[in-house]
Amino acid sequence: GLIYVKFNGEIIIKRAFGYANKELEIRNDINTIFGTGSRPIDYTVAAIYLLDQKGLLNIEDNISKYIKNVPKDKSKITIQHLLSGQSGLPDFFDTDADWDPDLAWVNRETAFKRMLSQELLFEPGTDRKHSHGAFGMLAAIVEIVSNQTYYEFISKNFFEPAGMKRAGEYGEAKEFKIQDFAAGGGPMFVGIPNIPPNWGPTSWLVKGSGGMYSTLDDLLKFYELVRSNKVLDTEHNQWFTNSSFNLDGSDRG
């Protein structure tokens, strides 16, 4: 993996260790591309706040303003509820029929149907529980409001301005080679080698909350951009500038 520690503006350590691909005896380095677990949640948050900043949506809006046929029990869910874990939506919405809880192909329409038919954990706004599904719903709202795909929107507004050239979605290799990726091991083994380009296109099971890859330096470029006031103004980048604690994980390596 990689370890990076910065304290009071000083980089204490930034180092790669271990193997990116043991079979090929390729060691990790700072430019090795990894699947990034739930880190794309922050791309989704940035996209929503940018659309709010542009006046194309309001985070206090009910989701029914953008999504058709919202049932009564979910009609009070707002964009803010989705952002803050207060929507009441369960964490995930995969089913036993999906061959994999992350990689099975589900389109946006099917994702909507599943999420809107789920039983809420609590009435919107009355409690707080993290939901990956909520960020999938936010990613869909990004598409509906911007009239672009989710990936097009975050690429144009964040990846390209930040200079993130080694970030992408599952199922695409771009110009990269096998040697550029860290190969995952363990029980979540899919494809030979087990790397993001071999996992199929990013499903709406994880769109907006996963399904992407990047490098340490590209992630650092993203955070530098969203904290800089160059894209998001001071009012809209507080998610990224306030004190916070983040924990990521990915069983796929």
The per-residue pLDDT for range 106-155, each reduced to its tens digit, is 999 999 999 999 999 999 999 999 999 999 999 999 999 999 999 999 99
Looking at residue 250, its pLDDT comes to: 65
**CA distances (Å), 227 to each of 35, 37, 80, 187, in order?**
23, 22, 20, 37
Is 90 exceeded by the pLDDT of residue 101?
yes
Mean pLDDT of the chain: 94
Nearest residue to 43 (alpha-carbon basis) of 240, 248, 245: 240
The per-residue pLDDT for range 59-77, each reduced to its tens digit, is 999 999 999 999 999 999 9
Which of the pair, 50 or 8, is modelled with greater confidence?
50
